[in-house]
Amino acid sequence: MKKTMKLVIGILCFILLLCIAFFGYNALSNRESASRVGGMQDSGAREQQARDFSMTDWDGNTIRLSGLIASGRPVVVNFWASWCPPCIIEMPDFEKMYLETGSEVQFVMLNLTDGMRETIQSGKRFIEEHGFSFPVFFDTTGEASSAYSIRSIPTTVFIDKNGYLAGDPIIGMLDERTLRERVEFIR
């Protein structure tokens, strides 16, 4: 009898533990989902000044992010590489948003150029082959990826017209709806 009671109590405790884990995971997932889009106003990143870095433009000129922010337009920085499947999948949505927003939002499609796996030539070739018209820049020194602690791509950073981060960076592929919502938020 005691063995059976211990077994029943053990099973009940295990089921309780599973329920706690399940509901805890769902609660945290819902909070993360909200912070990615709708909950941007709750993010501590909103009051954080965007970190500056230098990059190379298509023609080989050095450009600073602070110079783009100084134009008074919001900025979308997308860290990508031509060998990254999720980056490739989300590119048409970035092109669409770039064409729709015109001169209202500055897009910085920042290629992580390490000189081995990704080169300026491979990045340019990818853009030309797909006919994208958004502005492409190259992080040839790693300064930009270091400034934003990029560990995974794609990662997208949204910066308001005053130079403050608008929510936390989004790590991973964006769908069109999320991109549109985040761009509208900073416009």
The mean per-residue pLDDT over the stretch 35-56 comes to 66
Eight-state DSSP code of residue 150: -
Do the Cβ atoms of 43 and 58 come closer than 8 Å?
no
CA-based nearest residue to 154, from 79, 85, 93, 98: 79
How much is the pLDDT for 13? 64
| pLDDT band with cut points at 50, 70 and 90 for residue 177 | very high
Q: Report, in angstroms and rounded to the nearest whole number, the Rg of the chain calculated over CA atoms.
A: 21
* Token pair for 152: 């995974």
Q: Look at residue 22 in the predicted model and tell me its pLDDT.
A: 52
pLDDT of residue 1: 66
pLDDT at 31: 39
- CA 23/CA 56 separation, integer angstroms: 47
At residue 90, the pLDDT reads 96
Residue 168 pLDDT exceeds 50: yes
Sign of CA dihedral 131, 50, 114, 80: negative
Quickly state the pLDDT bin for 20 (edges 50, 70, 90). Answer: low
In contact, 187 and 161? CB cutoff 8 Å = no
First-to-last alpha carbon distance for the chain, in angstroms, is 69
Alpha-carbon distance 101 to 116, whole Å? 34
Asked if residue 144 lies in contact with residue 53, where contact means CB atoms within 8 angstroms, the answer is yes
Residue 7 scores a pLDDT above 60: yes
Which strands form 136-139's sheet, in the order they lie side by side? 62-64, 54-57, 136-139, 106-112, 75-80, 155-159, 170-171
Q: What is the pLDDT of residues 51-78, one digit of tens each?
A: 999 999 999 999 999 999 999 999 999 9
The correct CATH number of 45-186 out of 1.10.1510.10, 3.40.30.10, 1.10.8.60, 2.130.10.10 is: 3.40.30.10
Mean residue pLDDT across the chain: 85
Q: Which tokens go with 166?
A: 């608008």
What's the confidence (pLDDT) of residue 29? 41
- List, for residues 92-137, the tens digit of each pLDDT value: 999 999 999 988 999 999 999 998 999 999 999 999 999 999 999 9
What confidence tier does 2 reach under pLDDT thresholds 50, 70, 90?
confident
Contact present, 86 and 172 (Cβ < 8 Å): yes
Pairing of strands 62-64, 75-80: unpaired
pLDDT of 27 reads 47
